[in-house]
Amino acid sequence: MSDYFLGCSLSCVIALLMGIKKQWRFRENGLSNVLFLIALFIVLAIIAASLNDNSSNPFLGLLGILTLPAFLMIKNKGRGTKESGKQTSTQVVDRQKTTPDYINTQEPAAYSEAKVPNTEKTAIISLPEANNKKGSEFPEWYVSISFGKSRSDNFPQALALAKMAPQYIENDIDGQTIYQAIYSAKPQEYLAFIKLYELVSNWKSCFVVINGQMVDRKIIGGLNYCYGDKCRSGNPEFCYGASFMTENPFGCHRMQISAYNNPWWTFGSFDRKGVWMVNKEAMLKRIIEYSELYQLCPAFSLDRVLEALNNLPDKIDPRKDKGWVVIGNAIKPAHSILEYTININLSDNDN
């Protein structure tokens, strides 16, 4: 009989090694596992020593060794079966439908899968698809911000703002609630998104999706800075120039081709006949480079930009076109030249 208890004591050592992997633990708290198994090892060793009858039964020893590992494997298998039977429940609340009865009777919206950042593992969360015909319809352009529960003092305020969004979703994933707020490109809605984003952007559980595409903080920061200013300005021509210094023909001054920042007419050179040849290829290269961060901006249209580029003149002859003047080795619109008249009186006024 002592062989069995000796095998059980060795089984404790094996269980300790298996406990390194979290899923094999008796409990979630790793320290309690270690203390429990060490105590059990000592007790079983004492029992084995007290029952030492010099017997040698390999079968009982092997049975003792396999006792705890077998228990852990059966326990883990049962846990896996239980977890696989769980179903993720999703509650959708459409703020555009104001009656509680309507909200409770609507079918949940269909979703596409996207990965959610997590400190321990990567989970899968359902995200709304635009123009979904089941349940609530989403706008042609939308931004979705999601976050989990946080110990931050700002969490109650963030949750309240999320619930005020035009569309609000709660996703239950492995017992953890993910709060999701969805906004359109309308100025008031996007400004509300910025307010919520500024509260939760530094949380590890926070992530943003635009039109089904997960985006990083650099892109969101650029959009909030530029499109946010457009929403605040109320100027429909904002993208063609927030001021006279950023006037441009493309409808996006973030490409930095504007009246006082690399204007389009500076791209080119004179040919042998004194005609200014506009270098559209150089402009196109700059457009592609600088517009990369703003491809998801609701006000940006690459087709519109390329159409404006194509409509620019291929060449300018300042000798025939009075709207242009030569300044050094370049040209400039005549209306941008400031002329001053200085009157100098050279007469003798001593008398």
pLDDT for the residue numbered 139: 84
Q: Are residues 207 and 253 located together in one domain of the fold?
A: no
Higher pLDDT, residue 168 or 79: 168
Q: Residue 57: inside a domain, yes or no?
A: yes
- Residues 239-248: what's their mean pLDDT? 92
pLDDT 10s digits, 78-98: 655 555 554 444 444 444 443
pLDDT for the residue numbered 205: 93
- Residue 245 pLDDT greater than 60, yes or no: yes
pLDDT for the residue numbered 175: 87
Q: Are residues 115 and 211 located together in one domain of the fold?
A: yes
Q: Are residues 211 and 285 located together in one domain of the fold?
A: no
- Strand stretches in 175-251, DSSP E: 176-184, 207-210, 213-215
Residue where a domain stops, chosen among 215, 233, 263: 215
pLDDT for the residue numbered 174: 86
Q: Residue 315: inside a domain, yes or no?
A: yes
Q: Are residues 76 and 114 located together in one domain of the fold?
A: no
Q: Residue 142: inside a domain, yes or no?
A: yes
CB 76 within 8 A of CB 23: yes
Q: Are residues 180 and 125 located together in one domain of the fold?
A: yes
- 3-state DSSP helix/strand/coil % of the chain, to nearest 5: 45, 20, 40
Q: What is the DSSP string of 22-84?
A: GGG-SSS-HHHHHHHHHHHHHHHHHHHHHT------HHHHHHHHHHHHHHHHHHHHHHHHHHH
Q: Residue 228: inside a domain, yes or no?
A: no
Q: Are residues 262 and 190 located together in one domain of the fold?
A: no
313 is in which domain, residue-wise?
Answer: 241-336
Q: Residue 327: inside a domain, yes or no?
A: yes
3-class DSSP state of 222: helix
Rg (the chain; Cα; Å):
35
CATH number of the domain where residue 179 is located = 3.30.70
- Give percent of the chain above pLDDT 70: 58
Q: Residue 221: inside a domain, yes or no?
A: no
pLDDT 10s digits, 193-225: 999 999 999 999 999 999 999 999 999 999 999
Q: Are residues 115 and 206 located together in one domain of the fold?
A: yes
Q: Residue 262: inside a domain, yes or no?
A: yes
pLDDT for the residue numbered 135: 38
Question: Of the given ranges (121-125, 190-194, 257-261), which has the lowest mean pLDDT?
Answer: 121-125
- Residues 1-22: what's their mean pLDDT? 63
Q: How many domains does the chain have?
A: 3
CB 242 within 8 A of CB 233: yes
Query: Which residues are CB-contacts of 278 (< 8 A; sequence separation ≥ 6)?
Result: 264, 265, 267, 268, 312, 313, 314, 315, 316
- Residue 9 pLDDT greater than 50, yes or no: yes
Question: Of the given ranges (55-59, 68-72, 218-222), which has the lowest mean pLDDT?
Answer: 55-59
| Closest among 119, 121, 129 to 149, alpha carbons compared | 119
pLDDT for the residue numbered 150: 93
- Residue 132 pLDDT greater than 50, yes or no: no
